[in-house]
Amino acid sequence: MSKYSDQFKLTAVHAYLEGGEGFRKVAQRLAVDFSLLRRWVSSFQKHGQFSLRKPGQRYSATYKRSVLEYMHKHQLSLRQTAAHFGLGQSSQIGIWARQYYSGSPASPAPKRRKPAAMSKKPYPIKP
């Protein structure tokens, strides 16, 4: 669940776009981080109001690779690339890049682990 409601995000974006104030002033007035407001505005301008409602998703390795290739081909920052593809977190692209360039065999596929089995402790028998 998101910390901020969709309506709050939309209100914050409209406050910035219609107010004529900077990111920091609007963010301070609404008590949110200015970089978060900047991300919402960028996503809104690129993909519309439905981009603010996107839940977490899983992406295939080929999609991740295509995002990284696009970023390097067009020399975009992490934030610009996230806005272009409608991704919520620009830091996620950085994680994909580290996985891809580390040379790990499954890069940039997600690391899925099997949960550890719980061991059964023997209960003492009462006489």
What integer pLDDT is reported at residue 74 of this predicted model?
92
Q: Residue 120, Cβ neighbours under 10 Å: how many?
A: 6
What integer pLDDT is reported at residue 13 of this predicted model?
87
- Its sign, for the CA torsion 17, 19, 23, 26, is negative
Model pTM greater than 0.75? Answer: no
Q: Give the Cα separation of 105 and 51 in Å (integer).
A: 32
What integer pLDDT is reported at residue 1 of this predicted model?
45
Segment-wise mean pLDDT, segments of 10 residues, the chain, 127 residues: 77 85 85 86 76 70 89 90 79 86 62 72 74
